[in-house]
Amino acid sequence: MELKELKIGNLTARIPIVQGGMGIGVSLSNLAAAVANQGGIGTISGVQIGFRESDFETNPVEANLRAIAKEIKKAREKTKGIIAMNFMAAMNNYELYVKKAVEEKIDLIVSGAGLPVALPKLVKDSATKIAPIVSSAKAAKIIIRSWLKHDRLPDAVVVEGPLAGGHLGFKMEEMIEGTYKSLKEIVVEVKELIASYEEQYGVKIPVIAAGGLRTKEDIMELADAGADGFQLASIFVPTAECDAHDNFKRAYINAQKEDVMIIKSPVGMPARAIQTHFLTNSMENGCIVNKCYGCISECNPREIPYCISRGLIDAVNGEDGLIFSGANLDSIDKMTTVKEVIDKLIN
């Protein structure tokens, strides 16, 4: 089967590969532009994106807004391809950050970790396309019905399965016991749901499969199930273009199957991460959270085992911290480049 180009509204990616957003700071302008230059869609993570700004510790909101503009501008200087931004729907100041990205004329906003019901009004009268991340047909239906109240359908839908990295849209029991549906099963169900809206409204809404994809065989299996595009993230970490520190990249290369674990994130959701000293120590002994960055409203610094923002920032800077990853890291065993990764996936 030949892979077709991916069309999202009036955007056309020559190859149907979407690089998933990875925060904090793992996928910024450099990685996103490199993927876009190969014909795919590059994604900048909007989570605490201003962590390297000088005033982040004292004024994280302003630092994040400034960094959104900076990273989009830097990406535009490096590529004429498609650039997306990923925002967690559950994050504080979500609407403020999305509006800033729209103001900077971002091509596409991908949003999950909660139900992004506010997205249609935030991109109104702009050219920015929107795509929710869902882990079930039920979630997709809820979001679409909500968006239709604003006379808007998704421009694409990202279906994220149980093998994805970071926060997961499944119950903890499902992840521990392995009782979840496979990505292929969920893609089939979402594709069927989307088809009914496509027929009713005379539009095309591509379905993008995500979570644990590593090989061309993985992609072909999901293409057979009806997926139009394929989102990959972990496989792009140990590349020269990835924005993370080399120590972070080496953690992916060195990780064995038993090192990748399901944890309960401080925000209350199940998540997949690589075992580190920081993570083990925090889970067993806890740590004092001296600084709250106000990233999630549901987070109480007095009750959590560690600060998720601090853990992610330390890790991406090459220190001992929190490293989210997808499953199936066995095949990720060397430093490479974005071009080499994509060539292997599509050729």
83 and 101 together in one domain? yes
User: Looking at the structure, do residues 279 and 181 belong to the same domain, yes or no?
Assistant: no
- Residue 181 is predicted with a pLDDT of 92
Residue 1 lies in a domain: no
Residue pLDDT, tens place only, 214-237: 999 999 999 999 999 999 999 999
Does residue 260 share a domain with residue 179?
no
Note whether 178 and 216 are same-domain residues.
yes
CATH number for the domain spanning 138: value is: 3.20.20.70
Q: For the chain, how many structural domains are there in total?
A: 2
- The single-letter DSSP state of residue 259 is G
* Same-domain pairing of 24 and 162: yes
CA–CA separation, 153 vs 287, rounded Å? 44
- Would residue 303 count as lying in a domain? yes
User: The pTM is what?
Assistant: 0.95
Please give the Cα distance from 219 to 239 (Å, whole number).
20
**Does residue 218 fall inside a structural domain?**
yes
d(CA 140, CA 136): 6
**Residue 52 structural domain:** 6-245+329-346
Residue 98 has pLDDT above 70, yes or no: yes
pLDDT tens readout for residues 132-181: 999 999 999 999 999 999 999 999 999 999 999 998 888 888 888 888 99
Average pLDDT over residues 318-345: 95
